[in-house]
Chain A
Amino acid sequence: NAGVTQTPKFQVLKTGQSMTLQCAQDMNHEYMSWYRQDPGMGLRLIHYSVGAGITDQGEVPNGYNVSRSTTEDFPLRLLSAAPSQTSVYFCASSYDGTAKGYGYTFGSGTRLTVV
């Protein structure tokens, strides 16, 4: 059981470049989300999805786009990378999104550096 898989694990981008962070889960979870972790800031929610075709913004959505065409995948797109987007990005999923019971299952993260 793979759980939540994130690719790539590491990425270096130049300012202005675009890229997509991939997230896939094989647990048939309806809810998926993206968090970023910055030093001294904890984890902050970027975007989330409660099912295929449904997405919504979190606390820090600016500069990021998401879409959810399948239950399994929830890619995060950086349209024009900025140094302020240097961070570790985590994808998380859960059965119904309420976090009750067993919380969210997180991927192992993507460490992104924008130079």
Chain B
Amino acid sequence: DQQVKQNSPSLSVQEGRISILNCDYTNSMFDYFLWYKKYPAEGPTFLISISSIKDKNEDGRFTVFLNKSAKHLSLHIVPSQPGDSAVYFCAASESGAGSYQLTFGKGTKLSVIP
């Protein structure tokens, strides 16, 4: 059973517009969420994170929103740039005994069209 779901395998966006990547989770014990970006033939790189005590976190062009009641988070990229074209993974962790594991979604491939 998938605990972290990214239901859109791919997304195409025009350069300069907003990219919105979505992620849903089922495990109510998750209390920390991360987004990773991955280019081909490279390892994932950390992008931005959010704790469950917050509903928004910003870092430059990247903003993550968390809706705990809906068990949903989203990553907004504004404005989108061609260099943002990559696979984006949503990941989640929980405190306590499970805190040493990250559970990943399947990823969404973002293509930013110049």
Query: How many residues belonging to A are interface residues under a CB distance threshold of 8 Å?
Result: 30
Known A90-B44, A108-B41, A109-B43; judge A45-B102 contact (CB<8 A).
yes
Known A98-B93, A99-B32; judge A104-B45 contact (CB<8 A).
no
Contact B100 A42 (CB under 8 A): no
Query: How many residues belonging to B are interface residues under a CB distance threshold of 8 Å?
Result: 24
Could you give, for residues 72-108 of chain B, a 1 whenever the CB lies within 8 Å of some chain A CB and a 0 otherwise? 0000000000000000010101000001111011110
Q: Could you jot down 13 A-B contacts, CB within 8 Å? A: A33-B100, A42-B4, A43-B91, A43-B104, A45-B102, A101-B49, A102-B46, A102-B49, A103-B34, A105-B46, A108-B42, A109-B42, A109-B43
| Residues of B participating in the A interface, judged by any CB pair closer than 8 Å | 4, 9, 32, 34, 36, 41-46, 49, 51, 89, 91, 93, 99-102, 104-107
